[in-house]
Amino acid sequence: MPDLLEVSGLTKRFGGLVAVRDMHFTIAPGEILGLIGPNGSGKSTVMKLIMGIERPNAGSVRIDGVEVAGLASHQIARMGVGIVFQHSRPLHRQTVLENIKLALLPDSLLRLFTASHIEDRARAIAARVHLDHVIDRLPGTLPFADLRRLELARAVARNPKVVLVDEPFAGLTSTEVADFSNLIASFRAEGHAVLLVDHNVRGVAALVDQVLAMYLGERIAEGSAEQVMRDEKVRQVYLGGAIQAASRPAPPSGGRTTLLDVENLSVFYGKAQALDGVSLSVGVGECVSVVGLNGAGKTTLFNTISGLVPASGAVKFDGKDLRGRTPAQIARAGIVQCPESRELFGDMSVRENLDLGGQHLSRANSTRQLEWLLDLFPILKSRHGQAARTLSGGEQQMLAIARALMMQPRLLILDEPTLGLAPVILEQLSKALETLRQTTDITVLLGEQNVTFALPHADRVYVLEHARFIWEGTPERFAIEAGAQFL
């Protein structure tokens, strides 16, 4: 049987950036292909190129043998492609039933009125995706999972040959994930071709027939889920290399005094749950690593601790509840975060960025702290008069960490410090972090996808997946128990 979707040589450039390079794959009727890769790999761009949301610079996209590359989205939809976006886009003034009926309307303006069978068909689709009990409600009153079901219903209303599904499980509970997986799997029995875009192999392993892994716009592995999980290039991308755990000094005989205590933390962005009953503790002088793939909830956890995101549950620092405190008050209390996005003042110099971090210090104290940091990150000494935006990515990361340390934190939160950095820079950061651990009493909470960076510095490790902690233990235990399952 011929393939329903054929992608060949697909390439997309945004200026000098090649977002997708020479992509090839096919999907047969009744087959589900999982397209995986970290953020920035090019997954969503591939999907947009197939759907006509973006136009390719080169390559071919064939739907049931017909070339569609470069056509407009509505033309490609008429050729038999449906898309389920990660973020729901319903018509908010129309009910669930009306949203589905609109997706069923004929294309011709000469047939403006709905045929009598349209409502029956819309009700049948609603029942199929388990929305029959809310068909008269407006989208704004629906829980998040039902919004995802509505997006799916609208996509399949025209009985497309090819269905594109973007991050189907983001924000869903485990029960909802199982339900949604069953809905997607039903397309296989009906002969649809499905392209499923997700972050990790394990999240889609039981659902897909084949997996294609991407990184920086290129295909790095293809095969069964098991084959891709074992692929060395994929492990390098997700894990950063072989998992190693350095020996750590034993805790004091009486145990460490708890500095940070997070209890049953839950966070919603709208109706999407970003954290679900998360609890962790960090002892004085500890380095605790929170590892998880992109989208697991690490940044949300750190932003909640820092007071930037409202949440239910409790965050206690040095025994005191932080509820009701502003982010500035939390920072002054000793919790300082170095964010994933760095948030440097680009037009200000290296020295000016550092001075801002130490503005609350006396002149003598600021001078001592600055000298210590320039010893910790020597490259910043030679760049002290240079605008922050002109630094390399690695130099900017060092500056962001140094600025956080200028505040003399008791708890330093590092969010994905290795993101996008070259191996030589990772080695420099690793040495700086180890120096920090050996020569100061600063407590560190580190969030990382790159476990080969996170583990050697950690006293304890938490694994965060789909808004929940699924594992906790020592780095040595992680290497034995959890490392093989991290993908």
* Integer-rounded Cα radius of gyration of the chain: 25
Domains of the chain: residue spans and CATH: 5-239 (3.40.50.300), 258-334+409-485 (3.40.50.300)
CA distance 176 to 172: 6
CA distance 412 to 286: 11
Cβ(56)–Cβ(69) below 8 Å: yes
CA 210 to chain CA centroid, Å, is 22
CA distance 128 to 189: 14
**Contacting residues for 214 by C-beta, under 8 A, at least 6 apart:** 23, 35, 36, 37, 41, 42, 43, 46, 220
Q: Average pLDDT of each block of 10 consecutive residues along the chain (487 residues)?
A: 90 86 94 84 89 93 93 90 81 87 68 65 88 88 85 85 85 75 86 85 81 88 86 71 52 72 92 89 93 85 95 94 93 92 88 89 88 89 87 86 93 87 75 85 90 84 89 84 59
CA distance 305 to 336: 10
3-state secondary structure of 132: helix
- Report DSSP state, residue 349: B
Q: Which residue has the tokens 């949203």?
A: 99
Pairing status of strand 287-291 against strand 272-283: unpaired
pLDDT value at residue 110: 46
Pairing status of strand 5-14 against strand 312-317: unpaired
- The one-letter code for the residue type at 192 is H
pLDDT value at residue 238: 65
CA distance 387 to 384: 8
| 139-161 CB burial, b ≥16 within 10 A, e <16 | beebebbbbbbbbbbbbbbbebb
pLDDT value at residue 443: 93
pLDDT value at residue 289: 93
Task: Report the C-alpha dihedral over residues 441, 303, 426, 225, rounded to 10 degrees.
Answer: 130
For residue 253, the tally of other CB atoms under 10 A from its CB is 5
**Which tokens hold the place of 319?**
């025994």
CA distance 399 to 342: 9
Q: Which residue has the tokens 């304890």?
A: 460
Considering the entire predicted model, what is its pTM?
A: 0.62
CA distance 102 to 114: 9
Cβ(464)–Cβ(304) below 8 Å: no
pLDDT value at residue 431: 86
**Contacting residues for 439 by C-beta, under 8 A, at least 6 apart:** none
Q: What is the DSSP string of 371-410?
A: HHHHHHSTHHHHTTTSBGGGS-HHHHHHHHHHHHHHT--S
Q: Where are the alpha helices (DSSP H) in 407-468?
A: 423-439, 451-454
Instruction: State which H helix or E strand residue 476 sits in.
Output: helix 475-477
Q: Which of 356, 399, 365, 364 is nearest to 381 (CA)?
A: 399
Cβ(355)–Cβ(345) below 8 Å: no
Helix axes 363-376, 393-406, angle to 10 degrees: 150
β-bridge mates for residue 314, sequence order: 263
pLDDT value at residue 362: 87
Tell me the HSE value of 274 on the side-chain side, using a 13 A CA sphere.
18
